[in-house]
Structure 1
């Protein structure tokens, strides 16, 4: 089973990586009129929340875990928390992610309770490329369908990068191998692509290299497809692949979100992995809230305005030269007189 599973996971990760790289050959300001949350999926979108905007994303979940070979099971609950804060530039945000879990572990020989911060990550995300930043769409006044339909340039994604660190300052009972001590700090990096397809579909791909300097390093891939049903409701489907020396798995997630107002969202989701060593099921609900009172609108000039600015700068550079030429001619004419 192990020998068969390893090439399957590598092929899934290669497919995700190839899709992301093909997309990177090729939405204006980061701030949107309504909250844009990473929940309830596990992927990270390419865009930041906007400079000076603070966004909190949290949730509670129930977990059931069973291992067919060892014969143990674990049942409990957990809490997810993420802080996103737009800092320095419109394209950048600071990120803090924490997951706490509490469960009861039961095997044929023992039973005990476990609880710990399962993951703690701090870092920063930066939008490297936005294909629509200086793009002006021509409006077809005769066809609403033409304006709202699919366009080939939508295959050009926004591209972001994330760099951060996993923090591990206590004995973690949720390590993949409890006999090996994880380092206190280990790097985490990610490549992020995001496509808006039409007006109601969003495709996000994450390629993640996690715990790089540790024995638990892994290459992970996530692909998330979200569909907006209407102005309030949206649904999503997600697939994630893990490929590491100590853990390989695939996870599928599905769920939906409801927009309460422009700054608040609630969500629910369910996830299931494909292995039975162990078999893991999650189910949870969440809430996202945005504080944007300090946000100052960032205006992006149209291509025509940028051309005018460029022309004006060129004209100003030439003005001193023209003046000097005139002065030389005047001086020459005076000398001749």
Structure 2
């Protein structure tokens, strides 16, 4: 049976494309690395085109289950690879966690060792709304500290991105018995700059769709940049709900910027319950290979004497970034939280 494409469908497609163009052209790139670590929340923003970013951590966990009379020691390694694709608002993300677990049955003293991926997924994230897409409207005021640091109601309006991807289970994985090899995952991520030094991120995800044990997952993270802007702290709450496993977790930690492309971090956390109880900590690092280039944009100069030929906007972008850094430096030198 054929499908008839009407003029109405064509017009609708054209409108969608035209509406999308402003979002595709707005830059998500930042001069300083923007990592999702040390928490598990995912930023609404992409890393920027031609930026390859690796976020790696090594952690330990003590997990005890009062009802099953088991205790586990877990050594885990997690990695996230992010790359900016085609548009400034789009990135592809691989997330993997490999765990080595020693589980002891307290009643019998028998210890079972498991090693495999507890997380192995690939997906795309796309920014669909950014309240700060106009850099001219939202650039810092170089002459007023108060104007840059006062609370603004508009800052509560979040940037919003959507994620679509899949989980992969290969072989006889002890963490996912008899589960489908591939299962879809979708997520909505929001990010609000509630204050120049406070950022609020929320994630709501529906995971392992179509399997015997689909899972709802939310993450709420609040981060704060200290007086020395190279240091930041965060507090994060995560909730997990499925028929196989449900929990509520709390994390906190610190991150330190060693350079424009290099960050190190540390975090600790625990669960609220004892089925199982969880106590964990991790150290990590984030590094990016920055191959990003601003696209030259020809605009007409506003020379009152005429001669309004095309000029390259790259110099203007670099000047804006320099002004941003100057404003941030001024703010950090005049206030102590």
User: Per the shorter chain, which TM-score range?
Assistant: 0.7 to 0.9
Selected match of 2:50 from 49, 52, 67: 52
Q: 2:209 aligns with which of 205, 208, 212?
A: 212
5 Å-filtered alignment, 1:1-337, equals 29-107=27-105, 108-109=107-108, 110-134=110-134, 136-137=137-138, 143-175=144-176, 178=177, 181-229=178-226, 230-292=228-290, 294-298=291-295
CA distance in structure 1 between the partners assigned to 2:199 and 2:298 by the alignment: 25
- Whether the 8 Å contact between 2:254 and 2:266 is mirrored in structure 1 is yes
- Report the Cα distance in structure 2 between the residues aligned to 1:70 and 1:32, rounded to whole angstroms: 48
For 2:164 and 2:298, how far apart are their aligned partners in 1? Answer: 30
Change (3 A) 1:76 1:130: same
Greater RCO, CA 8 A, separation 6+: 1
- Counterpart-to-counterpart distance in 2, 1:162 and 1:138: 29
Q: 1:204 to 1:299 in 2, by over 3 A?
A: farther
Deviations, residues 79-122 of structure 1 (Å, cap 9, x unaligned): 00010000111100000001000021100232121111111010
Q: RMSD of aligned C-alpha atoms? A: 2.1
Offset at residue 270 of structure 1 (A) = 0.6
- Residues in 2 aligned to 1:257 and 1:30: alpha-carbon distance in whole angstroms: 21
Bigger radius of gyration among the two: 1
Show structure 1 runs of 5+ residues with no match: 1-27, 306-337
Aligned partner of residue 154 in structure 2, secondary structure: helix
SS in 2 for 1:154: helix
Report the count of equivalent residues: 273
- Cα deviation 1:236-280 (Å, max 9, x = unaligned): 000011111221110000001000000000000011111211111
8 A contact 1:133–1:300 mirrored in 2 = no
Q: TM-score, normalised by structure 2?
A: 0.77
* 3-state secondary structure, aligned to 1:145: helix
